[in-house]
Structure 1
């Protein structure tokens, strides 16, 4: 690059006299500085991506806490172990197959075919930091599914579905949308045409991650059926409350924190200027805007859920608010980089009602999802895809996805309906793909009696029957004696949590 901008032949006359050697020396120095700046940019971008990967990985702890708090105490150890195994099994299978299927370039529009076991890595555009970031996304999709089938699923089924989802199902979808070779990618390399002239703008994965995980969980929960006691003999919904609102809130805040790696981190790089040198118009500013839109969507959804559920139930419920907050995040994930902050508020507001509506439908159809994962990630993720097609701003679209003149943008922003058509097709194809892969997998596991645990094990709790004991064991000192005065005799009493009694949901007698 420096050789093109610094020519010793052109520079020598400016130095006067016989100064060819001096001009060549200066050009060599300029080239050395240019290469050092290039290395510095690569280091800054790589550090940014690694930090984002760490944030996204921290979401696994958020998922674990959220799941643990949302289930009954007798299944705490089971759900925590499944979250650990999602990361571990997902890491191995994404390393062996998933990353290659997702980003193995050059490839065809359907599936990647290079980088198995990270062979040929690192290379330009594909360093180890990029693999780590994409792995963190893959295990997030698996974590979503684990919540839908909690409290009644055999442990071996978790291992099988998690490996299959992270090693094959999810990578194919991410190849379609995020690889430069993918048939629906908004960054598809020339001279290939873009889907409806726009491609799919799913920046951080409302469809790729959340819709995939939500639909996979939907099929798992449908095939397994509801937990024992979730619906009474008359078909009325019975609330099976999670055992710790504290863990739910802790998990929610950890997920909120991790989302700042999930959405802004999806730029992959940060040191990229959009305008004249020295201006604030660069990718670093877009990263900040993306963090703001993410925040506002979650806040809007949380407040909408707070008052919406208050009108429905008469209570201020912290668990509902946490789920609403996460629904807003799942929705804004698609368009976080290409919409204005005011539009993000609308996104979160609608996402809250989408979640409330899908939860109501789940009760009507006797669908049981302990974490509302299919409703939250599937329903709100689908809304986020539509939202992006309505509110994507032309300026931001051209900055984030440069190089294509006349690219369509949001319908409500004057950009026509081609982006909306691409996004509707994305929703249909993802639902179809996940249904055709994960549906038969869960059905086969169920037929082989590898999916659901026995009635006796479910009533007793999987911690006791499958994992050697409860997650919580208390050793309290209890007094015995006369009058409760000094000199009390002390004895140890071991207290184990028993089955949590079911209570009617609001409005039931």
Structure 2
């Protein structure tokens, strides 16, 4: 059907905005790569950068072949989408090319979260398997539940659960918790890195080799989050009935502000909190604190006031600090704190939204500003238990779904002996044992022969 002039202008602006947001989210892959590379030891830098590239290339194929259809391919099934290979340029439908690209950028980010949890000890072939499965099936099913208009948990459904549906606007649960729960099972099944805990179970520090890359990666992720959260208004020129404002345009700027305030608050609280605990200022802890605030606000960024975003960031910092203490005592080893950061802060973000979502903003985001509609909103804002109940249900079903799918994948690889590298390879480093050389040339001429000789001797190739 031919569009009118007004519809064409609207569609053109929406497309440009959505594509620009997709490019910003894709920049987050660079941020992940820099953050991960700086957070591991130098002997594993090449490996972790390769896994980030693999997330993009493998995720592109799996998401095109399967993932996009599972997530958005059928508008009648509440549990999983179908209609494969239907991607085409049809304006204002779920199969529009620009919408696909935006959702693809989200899908490949999920595997990047998981890669941080199992860094420095995982066979590369095992990584290929789980990355394909996670981005092509596990994540898209959750996305269908929460983000498809027919999803059983969707706030955009015509008959939402508890008259509300789960509000996970940009993916504290759908993206961050999914990646974190998968990473939890991988790290748990593999066990800690060699030397991470001593004979008495006490933690041994294993600092990353390059703080500069960690800070660079953090700022790139911050930049990309402005596409991740505000960009999730994929229909930005909606005209609100019975109002005098400019529709969703009014919410985009607010969403960017709440994102910034939550991350900034979490960063400053982490700065002082860790100063009290360890006795010195630590830039790397602050970087993770900032990212934890972003993860938490991602669920409710469009439906809360700026002051509430500060509350979100404050508590997300303590969630991260507390979980890091707990997992260390349990001898759980996650080199990038991905399970605690994306899982713990993501879970808090879902609960936070159920407590602080404002009625006016919920109507803006999910009812096109139609003030005649009544629906649940934040419990602390007077909106009842409906929304909070949906948020808790989303949290629980993500834990269950990812556990029953990714847990067996990791365990099967473990039993087959194809998940973790050998102790000798881990000591020598993944770069030399699996990728033919180190990421850095500095002093490589004098160091590589010795390391390679040690590796060959330990591996006993004679």
TM-score category of the 2 structures, normalised to the smaller one:
over 0.9
Shift of 1:36: 1.6
Q: How far 1:494 sits from its partner (Å)?
A: 3.6
Among 142, 151, 157, the alignment partner of 1:173 is 142
- Counterpart among 73, 77, 90 of residue 42 in structure 2: 73
Alignment partners' CA distance in 1, 2:442 and 2:349: 45
CA distance in 2, matches of 1:496, 1:360: 36
Q: Give runs of ≥4 in structure 1 deviating > 6 Å.
A: none
Q: Is the 8 A contact 2:88 2:97 kept in 1?
A: no
Q: State the shift of 1:276 in Å.
A: 6.5
Counterpart residue number, 1:217 = 183
Take 2:139 and 2:309, find their aligned partners in 1: how far apart are those partners? 26
Question: Is 1:90 the equivalent of 2:55?
Answer: no
C-alpha distance in 2 between matches for 1:120 and 1:53: 17
Say which of 354, 358, 381 aligns to 1:413: 381
Query: How many residues matched?
Result: 447
Larger Rg: 1
C-alpha separation in 2, matches of 1:37 and 1:109: 33
Pair 1:234 & 2:196 matched: no
Q: Is the 8 A contact 1:107 1:113 kept in 2?
A: no
Q: 2:279 aligns with which of 288, 306, 314?
A: 314
**What does 1:13-412 align with in structure 2 at a 5 Å threshold?**
35-114=4-83, 116-119=84-87, 122=90, 124-126=92-94, 127-189=96-158, 193-274=159-240, 279-402=244-367, 405-412=373-380
Return closer, same or farther for 1:498/1:377 CA change in 2, 3 Å cut-off.
Answer: farther
Query: Equivalents in 2 of 1:270, 1:86: separation in Å?
Result: 29
* 1:347–1:387 contact (8 Å) kept in structure 2: yes
Moved more, 326-335 or 122-131: 122-131
Post-superposition Cα deviations, 1:431-452, rounded to whole Å, max 9, x if no partner, equal 0000000000000010111100
* Alignment-derived partner of residue 437 in structure 2: 469
Of 434, 437, 440 in structure 1, the residue corresponding to residue 405 of structure 2 is 437
Q: CA RMSD in A?
A: 1.8
CA distance in 1, matches of 2:420, 2:373: 53
User: Deviation string for 1:80-119 (max 9, x for gaps)?
Assistant: 00000011001100000000000012331100011x2344
TM-score, normalising length: structure 2: 0.94
Q: CA deviation at 1:274?
A: 2.7
Instruction: String of CA shifts for 1:161-219, please: whole Å, max 9, x gaps.
Output: 00000110000000000001100000013xxx211111000000000000100000000
Report what 1:16 is aligned to: none
- In structure 1, how many angstroms separate the alpha carbons of the residues matched to 2:88 and 2:171? 27
- Give deviations 1:227-271, integer Å, cap 9, x for gaps: 001000010011100000000000000000000000000011222
Q: Is the 8 A contact 1:74 1:498 kept in 2?
A: no
What TM-score does the superposition give when structure 1 sets the normalisation length?
A: 0.85
Q: Which range moved further: 365-374 or 193-202?
A: 193-202
